C-alpha cells in the first residue's frame, strides 16, 4: 500500500485530512456529550470515524495519542499501579434530616462570621445531585489526558487510565484554549439506568453474568484489567470538582468553576443549581427527589457546597471531610427479613459489637445477610429477639442496620439476646461500665482480637503508614505470638518474617524497610496510631499542636486537656486514662526506644511561628526529601494557610525543582518566591536534629 512503509513520508494531503477528521470528531463528541446538541446523525459520525481509521491504518505516523480512534489502545494489565493524590479526595459528612441541614448552615455561618466574613441574609450554595457511582480523578497536562485514578483511601488510588480512556464522554484532549498546565478534575463514573437495563438484558440472552445495580456496574467496570472489556460497558461521567491545578486562576464560585469545566469539554451534571440558604437547599432537595425516578442516573441524595470557593479556604476541613459541603441523603431503602442469630465481634478497644445474622434479603441493590445492631442499648430499645421479623435499612452505607421489629410477626419461643459474660475470643471477663451502652472485653492486648485490630490501626496509612503490613500478616504475627504490642513490630527480623506463609526474601526485606521508614513520623500521626479512645486524626492534631510534644501531653491532667479546642470531658478522660495505664506507658516508651521519633512542634521558635501565622502559601515543584503533604503539614503547624493556586492574595510561593507556571504567575504578580532549601523550618535534616 502506497506510503505505508516504516519511515515513508506522509503526503501533506493525508496529514491535512487526518487533522480535519480528528477536529470534526472532537467537535461532535463535545456537542453530543457536553452540550447534548448532536449536529449529525450517528451514521454520519460512524462514517467519519471509519474514514479516520482507514487513513491511520494506511499511514501509522498519523496516529496521535488524542486521536478518537485510540480510546482502547492498551494490552490487559496484570495489576493496578498506585497513584498518590496531590490533593486528597475527601469524603462528605451526611445530613439525614432538615434539622441536620439547618445545623450545617448554622455552623457554616458561625465559622464565616468568626473569621470576619460578611455573610448577608443567606449563604449561597451550589446544589448538585449526589451520584451513586465510582469517584475518579482525571488529570490533564497541557490539555492532554495524562492519567486517571480511583479515589482509593482518599490519599492513594489505583491507576485506571486505560479504562477511563474508553469512556467516550471523557475528552482525550480538552476543547477550547488557555488550558492550565495541570488540571485534575474530580468526577463520578456511572452507568446510565437505560444502558444498565439494556446491558443486563443482553447478558441474560447470552446466559452471561448480570450486574446487581448501576453502582456496582460502574465500579466493577473501572477495575477490569483488560480495557477492551471496559470499552464494552456503557459508562458515562460527570465532573464536579478539582484536585491539583497549576496555571489557572480558578473562578471564585463553584457554579462558575463548573461552567468553565464544561467549556473545556468536561461533562458536568445538568441538574446542578445555585440556591440560597437552607430553605433554597430544601426546595431543591424536594424537587429532585420528586424527579428521582425520571433521571437516567442513580442518585442517593443531594450535595450542597458553599458557592464561594474563597470561603472554602476560610472554612477548611476536618479529618477527611470539608466543612463547606454536606451530603443530604434521601430516605433509606428498607426491607424485612428474619433475624436468625446474633454474634458479638471484638474491636481494638475491646468493644463488643452485636452483629445480626439474617435470612438473606435484597435491599438497596445488594443481598444483605449481616447487619449491625450497634450496641446493647439499641438491642434493648428495639426489644429485638432471635427469630423476630425485622426491618433492615441500607442507607447507601457499607453496613446495613436493623432499625425495627415487626412485633405482630414475633414467633413463639423468640429468644432474648443476652450479652456474653466472657469474651468470645480470649475468654476474659466482659464489663459494661455504668451509663455506657458498650460492653467491653477487659483482656486488653492479652485478647488476640484486640491486638490484631490495634496493630491494624497502628500500621494504617493515616497512622504509621507501614506499607505491606496487611491483615493476613498481622494475624500470623499475633497467632504465632511474634508480636504482642506495636513496639514488638520493630524487633522483627528477616528470618522470622520468612518463616511466615507467603513471605519470601524480597517481601521480608520490603516490610523491614517499611518499618524502618515508619520510625520517622509526626506527633499527630503517632498519637492517632496509639488508638486512644475517641482520638481521631483531628483530635490528635489538636492535642499535638496544643502541647507541642509527647511529654507535656502525657503529664497533663483532665483540666489541662479540656483547654484543647474540641476536647471535652469525655475525650479528656479517655486520654488521661490511657496515659495513666502503666502498660500503655511501657508501650509508648518502648516505641520511642525503638527509634520512633518526630519533630517537636514546640521546638519551633515563637518568632518564626508568628511570622508564618495567617500567611497564604502555595507550593510548586518537586521537593527534595519531603512530600507535598508533609510540607503542607509543617506549614499548617506553623500557622500558614496552604492553597493550591497563585493569586493576588498569595503571600509566598515555595518552589522545588522544575517549578512550572505557578512560578511565572508569582513573578508576574510580584509575589515573594523562596526556594525550599532556604527555609530551615521545612528542612528535614535540620528539623530532625531539633
Q: Could you tell me if 89 and 187 are in contact, meaning their C-beta atoms sit under 8 angstroms apart?
A: no
Q: How far is CA 441 from the centre of its chain?
A: 32
Joined grid coordinates for residue 229? 472489556
300 touches 130 (CB < 8 A): yes
| Long-range contact set of residues 192-199: C-beta below 8 Å, sequence gap at least 24 | 192/234, 192/236, 192/296, 192/297, 193/295, 193/296, 193/297, 193/298, 194/296, 195/234, 195/236, 196/234, 198/234, 199/233, 199/234
Distance CA 85, CA 150 (A): 10
> Grid coordinates 414475633 are at which residue?
410
- CA–CA gap between residue 3 and residue 10 (Å, rounded): 6
Which of 130, 329, 634, 662 is labelled catalytic? 130
Strand extents, DSSP E, 144-221: 144-150, 156-158, 182-190
Burial code (b: 16+ CB inside 10 Å, e: under 16) for 308-323 equals bbebbbbbeebebbbb
| CA angle (643, 139, 626) in 5-degree steps | 50
Q: Is 667 a catalytic residue?
A: no
Cell of 430: 466482659
User: How many CB atoms are located within 10 Å of the residue 173 CB?
Assistant: 18
* Contact in structure between 122 and 305 (CB atoms under 8 Å): no
Neighbours of 684 (CB within 10 A): 16
Known catalytic residues?
130
Amino acid at each position: 500500500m502506497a506510503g505505508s512503509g516504516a519511515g515513508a513520508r506522509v503526503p501533506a494531503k493525508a496529514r491535512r485530512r487526518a487533522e480535519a477528521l480528528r477536529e470534526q470528531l472532537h467537535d461532535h463528541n463535545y456537542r453530543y456529550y457536553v452540550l447534548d446538541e448532536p449536529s449529525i446523525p450517528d451514521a454520519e459520525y460512524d462514517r467519519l470515524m471509519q474514514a479516520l481509521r482507514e487513513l491511520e491504518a494506511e499511514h501509522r505516523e498519523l496516529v496521535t495519542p488524542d486521536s478518537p480512534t485510540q480510546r482502547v489502545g492498551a494490552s490487559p494489565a496484570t495489576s493496578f499501579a498506585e497513584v498518590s493524590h496531590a490533593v486528597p479526595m475527601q469524603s462528605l459528612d451526611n445530613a439525614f434530616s432538615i434539622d441536620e441541614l439547618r445545623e450545617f448552615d448554622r455552623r457554616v455561618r458561625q465559622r464565616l462570621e468568626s473569621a470576619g466574613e460578611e455573610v448577608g441574609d443567606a449563604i449561597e450554595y451550589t446544589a448538585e445531585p449526589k451520584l451513586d457511582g465510582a469517584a475518579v480523578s482525571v488529570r490533564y497536562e497541557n490539555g492532554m489526558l495524562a492519567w486517571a485514578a480511583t479515589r482509593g483511601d482518599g490519599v492513594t488510588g489505583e491507576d485506571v487510565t486505560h479504562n477511563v480512556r474508553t469512556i467516550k464522554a471523557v475528552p482525550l484532549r480538552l476543547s477550547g484554549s488557555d488550558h492550565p498546565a495541570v488540571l485534575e478534575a474530580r468526577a463520578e463514573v456511572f452507568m446510565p439506568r437505560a444502558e444498565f437495563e439494556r446491558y443486563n438484558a443482553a447478558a441474560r440472552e447470552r446466559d452471561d453474568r448480570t450486574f446487581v445495580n448501576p453502582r456496582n456496574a460502574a465500579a466493577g467496570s473501572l477495575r477490569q484489567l483488560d480495557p477492551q472489556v471496559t470499552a464494552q460497558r456503557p459508562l458515562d461521567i460527570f465532573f464536579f470538582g478539582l484536585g491539583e491545578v497549576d496555571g489557572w486562576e480558578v473562578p471564585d464560585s463553584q457554579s462558575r468553576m463548573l461552567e468553565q469545566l464544561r467549556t473545556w469539554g468536561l461533562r458536568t451534571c445538568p441538574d446542578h443549581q445555585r440556591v440560597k440558604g437552607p430553605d433554597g437547599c430544601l426546595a431543591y432537595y424536594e424537587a429532585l427527589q420528586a424527579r428521582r425516578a425520571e433521571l437516567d442516573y442513580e442518585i442517593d441524595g443531594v450535595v450542597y457546597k458553599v458557592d464561594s470557593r474563597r470561603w472554602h479556604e476560610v472554612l477548611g476541613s476536618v479529618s477527611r471531610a470539608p466543612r463547606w459541603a454536606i451530603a443530604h441523603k434521601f430516605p433509606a431503602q428498607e426491607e424485612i427479613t428474619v433475624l436468625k442469630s446474633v454474634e458479638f465481634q471484638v474491636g481494638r478497644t475491646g468493644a463488643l459489637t452485636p452483629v445480626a445474622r439474617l435470612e438473606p434479603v435484597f435491599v438497596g441493590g445488594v443481598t444483605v445477610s449481616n447487619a449491625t445492631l450497634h450496641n446493647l442499648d439499641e438491642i434493648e430499645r428495639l426489644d429485638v429477639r432471635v427469630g423476630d421479623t425485622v426491618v433492615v435499612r441500607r442507607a447507601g452505607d457499607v453496613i446495613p442496620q436493623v432499625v425495627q421489629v415487626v412485633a405482630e410477626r414475633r414467633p413463639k419461643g423468640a429468644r432474648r439476646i443476652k450479652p456474653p459474660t466472657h469474651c468470645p475470643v480470649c475468654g476474659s471477663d466482659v464489663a459494661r461500665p455504668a451509663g455506657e451502652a458498650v460492653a467491653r472485653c477487659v483482656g486488653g492486648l492479652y485478647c488476640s482480637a484486640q491486638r490484631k485490630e490495634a496493630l491494624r490501626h497502628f500500621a494504617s496509612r493515616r497512622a504509621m503508614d507501614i506499607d505491606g503490613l496487611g491483615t493476613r500478616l498481622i494475624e500470623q504475627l499475633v497467632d504465632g505470638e511474634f508480636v504482642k504490642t506495636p513496639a514488638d513490630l520493630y524487633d522483627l527480623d528477616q528470618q522470622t518474617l520468612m518463616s511466615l506463609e507467603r513471605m519470601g526474601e524480597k517481601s521480608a526485606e520490603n516490610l523491614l524497610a517499611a518499618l524502618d521508614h515508619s520510625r520517622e513520623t509526626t506527633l499527630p500521626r503517632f498519637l492517632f496510631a496509639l488508638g486512644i479512645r475517641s482520638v481521631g486524626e483531628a483530635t490528635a492534631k489538636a492535642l499535638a499542636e496544643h502541647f507541642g510534644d509527647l511529654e507535656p501531653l502525657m503529664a497533663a491532667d483532665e483540666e489541662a486537656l479540656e483547654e484543647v479546642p474540641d476536647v471535652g470531658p469525655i475525650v479528656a478522660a479517655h486520654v488521661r486514662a490511657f496515659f495513666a495505664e502503666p502498660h500503655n506507658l511501657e508501650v509508648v516508651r518502648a516505641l520511642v526506644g525503638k527509634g520512633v521519633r518526630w519533630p517537636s512542634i514546640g521546638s519551633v521558635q515563637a518568632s518564626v511561628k508568628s511570622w508564618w501565622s495567617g500567611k497564604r502559601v502555595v507550593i510548586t515543584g518537586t521537593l527534595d526529601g519531603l512530600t507535598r503533604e508533609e510540607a503542607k503539614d509543617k506549614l499548617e503547624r506553623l500557622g500558614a494557610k496552604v492553597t493550591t493556586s497563585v493569586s493576588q492574595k498569595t503571600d509566598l510561593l515555595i518552589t522545588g525543582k522544575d517549578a512550572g507556571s505557578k512560578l511565572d504567575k508569582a513573578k508576574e504578580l510580584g509575589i515573594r518566591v523562596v526556594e525550599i532549601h532556604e527555609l530551615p523550618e521545612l528542612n528535614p535534616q535540620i528539623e530532625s536534629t531539633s
